[in-house]
Amino acid sequence: MIYQLKYTDKAEAITHLKSVGVLDDEEQYTAITHAVVYIGLIVDVAGTYDVDGNELTAPTFIDGYHVDVMTKTAIDFGTYLVTPNSPHHQFAI
């Protein structure tokens, strides 16, 4: 099972993933977990920079801290589950 999730920050993500059994208390995968990818912030509009690397316009980001999870069993992630139209990360299957 593959899930795309959105949290307010990484701490909330880890706490929730522990509560649903994806991670253990040491933040390691459990027996039901194939993979966890901490994507973090996703750039919505890239920033621009001059030839010296100085920022001309700041990048903007999609709301939330993003995590992709692959598990062996179905899990109810509740309101953290999202279904993006064009995901920035995909698992190779």
Burial of 12 (0-12, 13-18, 19+ CB in 10 A): middle
pLDDT, tens only, 55-67: 999 999 999 999 9
Residue 90 within a domain: no
pLDDT exceeding 90 applies to what percent of the chain? 87
Residue 13 within a domain: yes
Residue 93 within a domain: no
Tally of domains in the chain: 1
Nearest C-alpha neighbor of 39 from the set 16, 72, 62, 71: 62
**Mean pLDDT score of the chain:** 93
The better pLDDT of the pair 93, 33 is held by 33
Nearest C-alpha neighbor of 5 from the set 67, 61, 62: 67
CA distances from 11 to 29, 37, 38, 54, 67 (A): 16, 14, 11, 31, 12
Q: Which tokens hold the place of 11?
A: 């701490």
Does the pLDDT at position 89 exceed 70? Answer: no
Confidence of residue 85 (pLDDT cuts 50, 70, 90): low
Per DSSP, 81 falls in state: B
Range of the domain at 62: 2-77
Cα 36 to chain centroid distance, Å, stands at 8
Confidence of residue 83 (pLDDT cuts 50, 70, 90): confident
